[in-house]
Amino acid sequence: MARAKISLIGGGQIGGVLAQLCALRELGDVVLFDIVEGMPQGKMLDIAEVARIDQFDVELKGTNSYADIAGSDIVIVTAGLPRKPGMSRDDLLGVNAKIMKQVSEGIKEFAPDSFVIIISNPLDAMVTLCQKVTGFPPERIIGQAGVLDSNRFCSFIAWELGVSVRDVNAMVLGGHGDTMVPIIRYANVNGIPVMEQLVRKYGSEAKAEEVMTAMVERTKMAGGEVVKLLGNGSAFYSPASSAITMAEAILRDQKRVLPCCALLTGEFGVNNYYVGVPCVMGAGGIEKIVEFELDDEICQTSSF
Ligand code: APR
C-alpha cells in the first residue's frame, strides 16, 4: 500500500520541526515547500541523512515548486511571518493574508483533495481565508490552536499540582488570542476536578481561585511569553507537535477528540465563523463537532 503524503507549506522554524516529526513517526512521505531557494531542500537532506539512526523509511523532498505537493493527503501550512516581541497575532494580518491567499491558490490547484491544517497567524482569520479561497468543505480546512493552548493549560496545571501532565485533561476553546476560553469547570486530573484539588492544597477557595486565575492568564499569554524570551520569532516546537497530533488523528483514523479551529454552522449557536471547539478527528477530517452546555459558569474565572 502506498505511503501517505504530507506536504508542509513554509519551511521555517515550525516547518522544519514538522518535517522531522513526520519522519520520526513515519506518518508518510514528506514534501517541504518554501519560496526561499535551497533552504527546504537543505533541511530535508539534513533530516534524511539520519534516517538510519532514527530508523525511518519515508521519502523527504524539499522544493520551491507547488507541483511537488500533488497527491498530498494532508497539507500543513506555516507560511507567513511570526511575531516579534510586543506584537499581537493580529498585527500579522496584512502581510500574512497576502501569503495565505497565494498558498491557498497553490493548494487548490495542486492538492485539491487534501486535508489542510493551518498554523499561520492570526489563526482564525487565516483559516477563514484559506477556506474561502480553496472552497474546500469545512471538514477539510482546520486550524491548529486549541491543541496547543490546551496543552499549555494542562502543563501549568500539572506543574502546579506536581502530577504527570499525562493525567491532566483540560480544554481551551474560542479564539487563538486574548479571547481564548480555558474551560475551568471540566479541568481534571484523572477525573478529579482541578479546583477541588487546589482548594485542598491551599485550604481556601479564595486562594484556589487566585491560583487558577493566574494559570488561565498565563495560558492566554503563553505564546507571547515564548516570543519575549526568544527575542526573535515565536514558539515552534509546540505548534509543530500539536499539528502533528491532528494530522496523525486523520491519517490513522483515530477519532481523537481535539480542540480545533472549525467552521461552525449553528453549533454552540454560532453561524459561519471559525471558532475553537472540540472536534472528533478521523479519516474524514472533522467528523463531528462535540457540543456541550456552555455558560458563564463554565467559562469564567470569576465564578468557580
Ligand atoms: N509561500 C510559502 N512560504 C512562505 C511564503 C509564501 N508566500 N512567504 C513566506 N514563507 C515562508 C518563509 O520563507 C519562512 O521560511 O514561511 C516561513 C515561515 O517561517 P518562520 O519565519 O520561521 O516562522 P515560523 O516560526 O515557522 O511561524 C510560521 O506560524 O505560528 C505561526 O505566527 C506564526 O505566522 C507564523 C507561522
The pLDDT assigned to 302 comes to 39
Q: Please, what are the averages of pLDDT over each run of 10 residues along the chain (304 residues)? A: 96 98 98 98 98 97 98 98 88 94 98 98 96 98 97 98 98 90 96 98 98 97 96 96 98 98 96 96 98 73 42
Q: Ligand 1 centroid vs 79 CA: distance in angstroms?
A: 3
Q: Closest ligand 1 atom to the C-alpha of 236?
A: 25
The pLDDT assigned to 297 comes to 58
C-alpha cell of 75?
Answer: 497539507
The pLDDT assigned to 299 comes to 57
User: Which residues' Cβ are closer than 6 Å to ligand 1?
Assistant: 9-15, 34-36, 78-83, 92, 96, 99, 102-103, 119-121, 233-234, 236, 239
Which residues form the catalytic set?
A: 176
Q: Closest ligand 1 atom to the C-alpha of 235?
A: 25
Give the three-class secondary structure for 299: helix
CB–CB of 92/25 below 8 Å? no
Q: Which of 7, 8, 33, 34 to mutate to test the pocket of ligand 1 (most atoms within 8 A of CB)?
A: 34
Q: Closest ligand 1 atom to the C-alpha of 89?
A: 32
DSSP 86-105: T--GGGGHHHHHHHHHHHHH
Q: What angle (nearest 5°) sits at the alpha carbon of residue 82, between those of residues 300 and 33?
A: 120
Q: What angle (nearest 5°) sits at the alpha carbon of residue 16, between those of residues 15 and 19?
A: 85
What distance in Å separates the CA atoms of residue 18 and residue 40, rounded to the nearest whole number? 12
What distance in Å separates the CA atoms of residue 231 and residue 110, rounded to the nearest whole number? 36
Atom 25 of ligand 1: nearest residue by CA position: 13
C-alpha cell of 281?
Answer: 478527528
Task: Work out whether the CA dihedral 38, 114, 243, 277 comes out positive or negative.
Answer: positive
Q: Ligand 1 centroid vs 218 CA: distance in angstroms?
A: 25
